[in-house]
């Protein structure tokens, strides 16, 4: 099943946090790396005043149950010191499941696709780069969704690159 995972960091060594997340996500069986987007620097959305984020998207093939995939994402966040003290607050690492195949779920613990992905240029811009023909289940093509969004707060960082997992 094709999965889309969004990564973000605005605390600590941001690019090292993102690369560490890629390495850790694929360190155990069940996920096969397909593509990683370029890295973008983005303005925070919502929450308190905070520094800019680095964001990227990883596309993978998964043999994992969606809940197991979510557990892995949370484990990776925890390994990088993620604290959930404040909603939309600053974080060392954010690992979000954006889409898992064409699954749709209203479960509060695992809403699929991600309930705000269609509104977030910091997710859709990198996703479109990683997979130009991407479709957000229930919403349509990522390219069409992007056409309706302000992308001015999303800046490509050509000096930063995520390497595929070893």
| Residue in this structure with the two tokens 């705000």, named with its chain if needed | 116
Find the range with the poorest average confidence among 3-17, 59-73, 77-91, 144-158: 77-91
Q: What is the pLDDT of residues 1-37, one digit of tens each?
A: 999 999 999 999 999 999 999 999 999 999 999 999 9
Residue 71 annotated as catalytic: no
Asked if residue 85 has pLDDT above 80, the reply is no
Are 50 and 89 in contact by the 8 Å Cβ rule? The answer is yes
Catalytic residue among 82, 139, 155, 157: 82
Residue 116 annotated as catalytic: no
Domains of the chain: 2-156 (3.30.70.560)
Asked if residue 83 has pLDDT above 80, the reply is no
- Look at residues 50, 32, 40 and name the one whose alpha carbon lies nearest to residue 123: 40
Residue 131 annotated as catalytic: no
* Residue 113 pLDDT class (50, 70, 90 cuts): very high
pTM for the model: 0.95
pLDDT of residue 166: 83
Residue 91 annotated as catalytic: yes
Q: Which two tokens stand for residue 23?
A: 């390495």
How far, in Å, CA of 93 to CA of 14, rounded?
A: 8
User: What whole-number percentage of the chain has pLDDT above 70?
Assistant: 100
């Amino acid at each position: 099943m094709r999965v889309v995972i969004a990564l973000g960091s605005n605390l600590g060594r941001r690019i090292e946090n993102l690369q560490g997340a890629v390495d850790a996500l694929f360190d155990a069986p069940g996920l096969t790396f397909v593509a990683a987007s370029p890295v973008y620097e983005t303005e925070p959305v919502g929450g308190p005043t905070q520094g800019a984020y680095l964001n990227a998207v990883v596309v993978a093939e998964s043999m994992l149950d969606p809940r197991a995939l979510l557990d892995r994402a949370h484990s990776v966040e925890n390994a990088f010191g993620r604290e959930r003290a404040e909603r939309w607050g600053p974080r060392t690492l954010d690992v979000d499941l954006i889409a898992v195949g064409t699954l749709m779920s209203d479960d509060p613990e695992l809403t699929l696709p991600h309930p705000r992905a269609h509104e977030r240029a910091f997710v859709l811009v990198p996703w479109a780069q990683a997979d130009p023909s991407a479709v957000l289940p229930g919403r349509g093509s990522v390219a069409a969704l992007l056409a309706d969004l302000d992308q001015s707060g999303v800046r490509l960082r050509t000096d930063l690159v995520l390497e595929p997992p070893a």
